Structure 1
Amino acid sequence: MYPNWILQRAYLTPLRKALAYKNQSWTFQELNELSIKRARQLVGIGIQQGDRIAIMGPSKPELVMMMYACMHLQCEMVMLNRRLSPEELAYQLEDSEAVTVLIADEDIEKLPPETAHYLFSSIENGGEGELTIEKEWPLDQTTTIMYTSGTTGFPKGVRQTVGNHQASATASVLNIGLQPQDVWLCAVPLFHISGFSILVRSLLYGNQVYLYDQFDAEAISQNIIDGEVTHMSVVAVTLERILHTLEQRNMKASPHFKLMLAGGGPVPVDYLARAHSLNLAVAQTYGMTETSSQTATLASEDAMQKIGSAGKPLFFNQIKIADPNDKGEGEICIRGPHVTPGYIGRFAHKNATIDGWLHTGDIGCLDEDGYLYVIDRRADLIISGGENIYPAEIENVLLTHPAVKEAGVCGVDDEQWGQVPIAFLVLNEPVSVEQLQAFCLQKLAKYKMPKEIIFTDSLPRNGADKLLRRKLLQ
């Protein structure tokens, strides 16, 4: 058993700033009191301790309060990606068997029709029920469930426990250090593991979170110049926007700014050199939803000596390369207390690990010094602006159109987003690109939309008729 993070932090540093958003701020004591009130209001609408609840909203303080309220109730939070289509959300809601959806008022139009839900506003204005808040949480208690696309095209609901999140946060702080005045700027979505892990670190470390509900290069760059924040999580596309803004303004990062954690795919060497010249320390990381954020991180002082590396595993974590070839390249496998215990719904029967090791499907190698190099983020995975896109998911949608006989999707390089998906189709009957795009828009999030659709007579396949996506571009 471990302490309820919210209660414990409010007890230890009640008057320390916990959260800032625009011109507002809250202490840890205020966050605790507000989240307890919200938890009682959830009881008032019938939510019970331990219920599985879906939650959706923009990254604003209201969402933080609602998440902390659910944590007080020891609910399992299904974190809904507000960028998904209603059809994609419907799959996750059915698969997760969440008892209801707690949703921000501004997002109600995103929900599938006739979905059981409660608006944030109705909860905030509602009555309170009786509640006894547990002061301790078991390590194996599921805190969050986040859906990640699978190679089958069906997203998997990944469980993350108290122990997973706690191990991840502890390993991170042993790597980057800690000062009471540290402030983590959060401009990544709180429904992602990268965003939620910032909240966890805040509760465990006692550091302030400076929250943005959307990425604002100008405002964020000013925070970095002024030294108002010390840490930030980015992906390559957001890092480049900050670099561009600083360069345009002929400004550098404040000496008070300490570190950018860059995940979601490799960071171009050019970005690292530009960041270095702007006094901006960047640490590349490697992790996934199944590992509650970071598994390996490259120290900023090693960035130019180990270009392209994701660094070494953090303190409690282990990495090995399974079935390496003569170049030492093979599947990246991970072991540690941050690894998910498993999945829910359709994939509840699937073991997350084999003999204690998570087989990532990613290909990589370790150099003679133990630094990890990720060669391919899974054979078919497309990473676009930090978002993972699986071709099979897009193919499955395209194949439901009556005009489409065969579909193959792969990623192509894109200066802004890193990669974007394109589709190759064999048709049953004539159809226009515009009609197919309109069809996809009803079923896919915008970032998963094929940026180009190409008609062809046949798709490359092997002897067993398996689609060879790597040969599509050829």
Structure 2
Amino acid sequence: MVEIRKTVHVEAVADVTFSTWPWQHWAKERPSSVALSFDEQQFSWAELAEKVDEYAKGLVEQGLKRDQLVAVVAPNSVSVIWLLLAILRTGARYVGLNPHLSQQALSNQLALLECDFIWYPAKSGAALDRVQGSKQAGQQALPHRLQLLPPQTPRMVPVTWQASRAATLTMTSGSTGHPKAVVHNAQSHLASAAGLLQWMAFDGEDSWLLSLPLFHISGMAIVWRWLYRGAKLVVASSQDLDVALGKVTHASLVPTQLQRVLENNRASSLSLKRVLLGGAVIPVSLTERAKQAGIECWCGYGMTEMASTVTAKLADTSAGVGAVLPHRELMLKDGEVLVKGKASGMGYYRNRTIFPFSEQEWFATKDLASWHDEELFILGRKDNMFISGGENIQPEEIEKVLLSHPAVDQAFVLPMADKEYGQRPVAIVSTSPELDETLNEDLDGYMKQQVMGLCRPVKYLLLPSHLCAGGIKISRKQLAQWLTEQH
């Protein structure tokens, strides 16, 4: 058994400490500074704190109590921000659910969570149909529906600030097909924010675009960085993201979003200074183009259980994911990544109970990695590996090579049954231009030069668009099911 343990060693920077709700802290420290912006409206920290208190009183009036759970099924909007902060103010717990889920998947998540209340927009369209459909299917009775309203009669919110109280639940991405509900308190969210912002400059005068969904940890982490720093949060609809990117200094993006910004040929005219990239393997050519446009790109490695980022770095030509951030610890045990630290969540939620991630001190991630020159390199997941002709094949290594081809935007490698070799790799890709016979031959020739025979994909298939909707990560389990249906 080989163990390699890494912690961060940097000059200590004092963290911001909070003796009250972060928005109330900033309402005292910077009352007139802009806290929240959407469309043409802006709210100062003082105005935001007052509005959150009013909405919290309204929720209490509707029966919401501390430690109860509210499911929010909605895309990002300013209403969801008000709701998140108001729920926290009451001492209750917030969980965001993907409004693009199928009726069955949404029903399954509601059954797992056993929520006390639910909220969804008045004009939720298909999402509302799915929520109602879960009830009609007889899976379970829907929780009581909350309204985002001020109270009808004056009242108090009898809850004080406790950073250690369970605050949010976030569903894991489900890239392996089985999402879990991860519980965090304010303490772990703020530790996550503090550690990243010791390295990545984000000042009180800066602004961060809420560019990723709040039902994903990457979106939730944006909110806590904003609350930690007391800067400005900019909320925009998915249709207006490109416009909103022109008005902010910081954004969290997936590679395809950054690619769209750069392809619009207006990146140099934006106020955008720094981008935190995640969700996929990041092509070096993309970050180099961003650098030429004056945009500093950061990348790293993270997970829901650790409230987002664990390692980070300024993007460069290395395929590594950087060094360990403050408030995290990381260890490699027989090549597997184990983590712990102040940013760690409280555990998984089921049967209305919080269960620790592990009986051990360290959380085993199932990610395989190695250290080179003080930088972590992710090799792939233990449960993605397959055997072809007696050789262990790690799909992620093949995917990285595919992504180095200029025409490949996204790449996934999965095993396909083979009589002679047991299993052979198949590549599922999205490309520019679209995959055709000529590009197929080009990719085949390219991979013959780059990887050994057993690692060369025996087939190239176009990534189906319906599997790209709604989330940040594409589910390998769903891709495997789709691949099976093709044969």
Q: Normalising by structure 2, report the TM-score.
A: 0.72
How far residue 205 of structure 1 moved from its aligned partner, in angstroms, is 0.8
Residues 192-225 of structure 1: CA deviation (Å, up to 9, x unaligned): 211122111212211001112216464145x1xx
Contact 1:87 1:112 survives alignment (8 Å): no
State the shift of 1:265 in Å.
Answer: 2.4
Distance, in Å, in 2 between the alignment partners of 1:191 and 1:289 is 11
8 Å contact from structure 1 (residues 234, 260) kept in 2: yes
2:129 alignment partner in structure 1: 109
Residue 453 of structure 1: how far off its partner (Å): 4.7
Q: State yes or no: 1:232 paired with 2:251.
A: yes
Aligned to 1:87: 104
Q: Is the 8 A contact 1:41 1:129 kept in 2?
A: no
Q: Does 1:413 align with 2:425?
A: no
2:295 is equivalent to residue 297 of structure 1: no
| 1:164 corresponds to 2:181 | no
Residues 244 and 377 of structure 1, relative CA distance in 2, 3 Å threshold = farther
Q: Which residue is equivalent to 2:295? A: 280
CA 15–84 in structure 1, closer or farther in 2 if over 3 Å, else same = same
Q: Kindly provide the CA deviation profile for residues 147-189 of structure 1, in whole angstroms up to 9, marking residues without a partner as x.
A: 1155874321111111110110110111113422111122111
Q: Aligned AA for 2:211?
A: A
Q: Which residue of 2 aligns with 1:421?
A: none
- Give the equivalent residue in structure 1 for 2:461: none
Identity across the alignment (%): 24
Write the letter of the residue equivalent to 1:415. Answer: T
Greater displacement, 72-81 / 170-179: 170-179
Q: Which residue of 1 aligns with 2:63?
A: 46
Contact 1:317–1:337 (Cα < 8 Å) also in 2: yes
1:371 aligns with 2:375: yes
The aligned counterpart of 2:333 is 322
| Cα distance change on mapping 1:215 and 1:269 into 2, 3 Å | farther
Cα RMSD, aligned residues only:
3.6
Residue 212 (structure 1) aligned with residue 236 (structure 2)? yes
In the alignment, what sits opposite 2:345?
340
Deviations 1:270-305 (A, max 9, x none): 1122112211110112111111011111125xx23x
1:33-63 C-alpha deviation (Å, 9 max, x unpaired): 1111111111111111221111222211111
The range that moved more, 156-165 or 108-117, is 108-117
**Does the Cα contact within 8 Å between 1:43 and 1:128 map onto a contact in 2?**
no
Partner SS state of residue 360, structure 2:
coil
Residue 29 of structure 2: aligned partner: 12
1:147 to 171, 195, 213: 171
- CA distance in structure 2 between the partners assigned to 1:153 and 1:189 by the alignment: 19
Offset of 1:134 from its aligned partner? 3.4
**350-359 or 330-339: which moved more?**
350-359
- State the AA in 1 paired with 2:155: E
Counterpart secondary structure, 2:264: helix
Task: Verify: 1:203 aligned to 2:217, yes or no.
Answer: no
CA gap of 1:37–1:455, structure 2 versus 1, over 3 A, is closer
Output the CA distance in 1 between the equivalents of 2:295 and 2:256. 16
1:23 pairs with 2:40: yes
Aligned-partner residue type, residue 235 of structure 1:
V
Q: Whole-Å Cα distance in 2 between the matches of residues 241 and 151 of structure 1?
A: 24
Structure 1's unaligned 5+ residue stretches are 324-329, 392-407, 417-436, 458-474
Please list the CA deviations of residues 379-413 of structure 1 after superposition, one character each: whole Å capped at 9, or x if unmatched. Answer: 43999xx99x9x9xxxxxxxxxxxxxxxx998723
Structure 1 residue 142: deviation in Å? 1.1
The alpha carbon displacement at 1:109 in A equals 2.4
Q: Could you tell me which residue of structure 2 aligns to residue 357 of structure 1?
A: 362
- Report the 3-state secondary structure (helix = DSSP H, G, I; strand = E; otherwise coil) of the residue aligned with 2:238: coil
> Counterpart amino acid of 1:279?
G
- Residues 1:269 and 2:284 aligned together: yes
- How far apart in 2 are the matches of 1:38 and 1:243? 39
CA distance in 1, matches of 2:89, 2:150: 19
Deviations 1:64-109 (CA, angstroms, capped at 9, x unpaired) = 1111110100111121111212211111111111111022112222
- Pick closer, same or farther for the CA change 1:310–1:133 going to 2, 3 Å: farther
Question: Given that residues 60 and 213 in structure 1 are in contact (C-alpha distance below 8 angstroms), is that contact kept between their aligned partners in structure 2?
Answer: yes
The number of residue pairs the alignment matches comes to 396
User: 1:456 and 1:112, CA in 2 relative to 1: closer, same or farther beyond 3 A?
Assistant: same
2:263 aligns with 244
Q: How does 1:61-76 map to 2 (within 5 A)?
A: 61-76=78-93
- The question of whether the paired residues in 2 share the 8 Å contact of 1:7 and 1:135 is answered with no
Q: Which moved more, 1:8-17 or 1:149-158?
A: 149-158
Cα distance in 1 for residues equivalent to 2:52 and 2:77: 14
**2:440 matched to which residue of 1?**
none
User: Map of 1:123-142 to 2, 5 A cutoff?
Assistant: 123-124=148-149, 127-128=152-153, 130-139=155-164, 141-142=165-166
Secondary structure of residue in 1 paired with 2:268: coil
Runs of 4+ in 1 over 6 A off after TM superposition: 408-411, 444-447
Asked if structure 2 preserves the Cα contact closer than 8 Å seen for 1:89 and 1:112, the reply is no
TM-score normalized by structure 1?
Answer: 0.74
SS at match of 1:62: helix
